[in-house]
């Protein structure tokens, strides 16, 4: 995996060519524009990555993943069978970032402690669902499937939270962002499916603003769907609901106010902004340390997110190395 230690701090880009971003490499490839293509003319013959002026893509997903033993790969293949699309090979992939962080937390048994610490409530033991796939049930999580059907979604274009953590007391939908923003609108604004009428008019129980205001004027269509479906799922079992918007510390700083003005939050329904940097800090507090923990911390510390318009390498995270408290574990 290439990171700030192995990538050039600056790359040369002209009208026709882009140089390979790996330090010490003198190769140049044709400059691609608009939609990224993993085509031979854009591939470095020495390092085999596909290059654009702003980012690069590995030949396979494996180069971009930290956890890839036999069990990990078996799970990932099962997830891909349920997941609508995947771009884990891209350097700026939020899917790869989510896998590298949350697969570690699940495997090492830290998921519940860290989420509880960040949320500020003891959540208890949690099961994790990856992009709608339940490793325990070995299929799409039936509660999400039921919600999709209740609100008129088709499987090929259905809501797909990045992660769902749940137990018999709480449901957390985690929408992870890396380079993308929360500004989304419906591709077909006239087709509301059953978002307003489904669940016995559940929309009006959990939103203070009209559908068109939230989905199109405020451009919070994706968050609307997760708040609607997630709160309905939680309510079926009388559980507490959290919609967790996981972002970088410099991004979406006012999202709780911007989205919150349209929702009906209460003691059972919460919208929470959490940062990747907070997750990093909690992982840094885990004692004793382990090879896996240290690998993940280095991943955060040296991770890059492509090149800017001037060809300068960008670092995504504002990292502090001063742990506050400790989380027992390994």
Evaluated on CA atoms 220, 82, 304, 43, the torsion sign reads negative
Ordered DSSP codes for 25-43? ---EEEPP-SS----GGGB
pLDDT of residue 85: 74
Say yes or no to pLDDT of 143 above 70.
yes
**Distance linking the first and last C-alpha atoms of the chain:** 24
pLDDT of residue 328: 41
**Residue 324: exposed, middle, or buried by beta-carbon count in 10 A (0-12, 13-18, 19+)?**
exposed
| d(C-alpha 247, C-alpha 66), whole Å | 20
Phi, psi of 19 (to 5 degrees): -85, 155
Identify the band that residue 320 occupies on the pLDDT scale cut at 50, 70 and 90.
low
Rg (CA), the chain: 21
Rounded to an integer, the average pLDDT of 141-154 is 96
CB 99 within 8 A of CB 76: yes
Per DSSP, helices labelled H in the chain are 70-82, 94-107, 111-119, 142-150, 198-201, 203-206, 211-212, 221-236, 255-260, 276-284, 291-302
pLDDT of residue 156: 73
Instruction: Read off the pLDDT of residues 23-35 as tens digits, 9 standing for 90 and up.
Output: 999 999 999 999 9
Per DSSP, helices labelled H in 111-193 are 111-119, 142-150
Q: Are strands 17-19 and 28-30 parallel, antiparallel or unpaired?
A: antiparallel
Phi, psi of 180 (to 5 degrees): -80, 160
pLDDT of residue 321: 56
Helix, coil or strand: residue 129? strand
Mean pLDDT for all residues in the chain: 94
pLDDT of residue 179: 95
Instruction: Read off the pLDDT of residues 54-81 as tens digits, 9 standing for 90 and up.
Output: 999 999 999 999 999 999 999 999 999 8
Q: Are strands 240-247 and 269-275 parallel, antiparallel or unpaired?
A: parallel
Instruction: Read off the pLDDT of residues 212-231 as tens digits, 9 standing for 90 and up.
Output: 999 999 999 999 999 999 99
Rounded to an integer, the average pLDDT of 40-57 is 98
Instruction: Read off the pLDDT of residues 231-287 as tens digits, 9 standing for 90 and up.
Output: 999 999 999 999 999 999 999 999 999 999 999 999 999 999 999 999 999 999 999
Angle at alpha carbon of residue 328, lines to 323 and 330, rounded to 5°:
100
Please tell me the pTM assigned to this model: 0.93
Tokens representing residue 325 in the block: 């408290």
- Dihedral angle, C-alpha 289, 91, 116, 128, nearest 10 °: -100
Phi, psi of 79 (to 5 degrees): -60, -45
| d(C-alpha 97, C-alpha 1), whole Å | 12
Say yes or no to pLDDT of 325 above 70.
no
pLDDT of residue 323: 42
Identify the band that residue 83 occupies on the pLDDT scale cut at 50, 70 and 90.
confident
């Amino acid at each position: 995996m290439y990171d700030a230690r192995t990538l050039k701090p600056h790359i040369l880009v002209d009208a026709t060519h882009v140089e390979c971003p790996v330090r010490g490499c003198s190769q140049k490839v044709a400059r691609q524009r608009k939609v990224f293509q993993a085509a031979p003319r854009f591939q470095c013959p020495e390092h085999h990555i596909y290059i654009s002026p702003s980012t690069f893509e590995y030949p396979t997903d494996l180069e971009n993943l930290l956890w890839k033993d036999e069990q990990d790969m078996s799970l990932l293949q099962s997830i891909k069978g349920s997941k609508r699309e995947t771009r884990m090979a891209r350097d700026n992939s939020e899917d790869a970032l989510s896998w590298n962080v949350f697969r570690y937390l699940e495997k090492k048994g830290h998921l519940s402690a860290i989420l509880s610490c960040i949320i500020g409530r003891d959540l208890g033991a949690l099961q994790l669902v990856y992009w709608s796939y339940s490793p325990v049930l070995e299929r799409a999580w039936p509660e999400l499937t039921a919600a999709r059907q209740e609100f008129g979604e088709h499987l090929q274009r259905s809501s797909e939270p990045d992660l769902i953590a749940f137990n018999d007391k709480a449901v957390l939908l985690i929408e992870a962002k890396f380079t993308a923003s929360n500004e989304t609108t419906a591709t077909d604004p006239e087709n509301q499916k059953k978002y307003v009428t489904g669940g016995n008019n559940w929309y009006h129980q959990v939103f203070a603003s009209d559908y068109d205001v939230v989905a199109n004027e405020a451009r919070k269509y994706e968050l609307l769907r997760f708040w609607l479906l997630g709160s309905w799922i939680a309510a079926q079992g009388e559980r507490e609901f959290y919609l967790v918007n996981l972002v970088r510390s410099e991004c979406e700083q006012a999202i709780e106010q911007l989205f919150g003005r349209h929702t009906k939050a209460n003691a059972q329904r919460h919208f929470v902004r959490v940062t990747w940097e907070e997750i990093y800090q909690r992982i840094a507090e885990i004692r004793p340390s382990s090879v896996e923990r240290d690998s993940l911390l280095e991943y955060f510390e040296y991770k890059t997110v492509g090149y800017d318009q001037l060809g300068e390498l960008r670092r995504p995270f504002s990292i502090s190395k001063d742990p506050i408290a400790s989380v027992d574990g390994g």
